[in-house]
Amino acid sequence: MTMHRSVPDALPIRDALQRSGPLERLQQRLADSKARLDAVRTCLPAALTPYVSAGPVDDLGWTLIARNAAVAAKLRQLQPRLEATLRQRGWQVTAIRIHVQSSGNGNV
């Protein structure tokens, strides 16, 4: 004789995010990071934008992720302009960190 366990109905992800304080804060930080990238995108050369992603936002600043070292170098040149743009749009900018995306095979 097999016993069947009752499985509660799955909670839609939106509801789960709203019911969990930590998940809700994570969602807010993800939205903030995306909004920051959208704001600074106007400062980036068009050819560079496909190679830049929004990274995490925390109390120490915001991270931009560059696909390779050349893109990271250009972002570092543009960093003062990016920070000024964020300030003009109302963000308190402590730091923009620029990280090179890892290749996924252990090499950076």
* Model pLDDT for residues 27-80, shown as the tens digit of each residue: 888 999 999 999 999 999 999 999 999 999 988 899 999 999 999 999 999 999
Average pLDDT score over residue span 86-101: 93
Closest CA relative to residue 63, chosen from 40, 87, 97: 97
CATH number of 14-100: 3.30.300.180
What per-residue confidence (pLDDT) applies to 106? 47
Average pLDDT score over residue span 84-106: 87
The residue ranges of every structural domain in the chain are: 14-100
What per-residue confidence (pLDDT) applies to 68? 97
Taking CA atoms, 101 is separated from 18, 19, 38, 52, 80, in Å, by 30, 32, 19, 9, 21
The tokens for 7 are: 């499985």
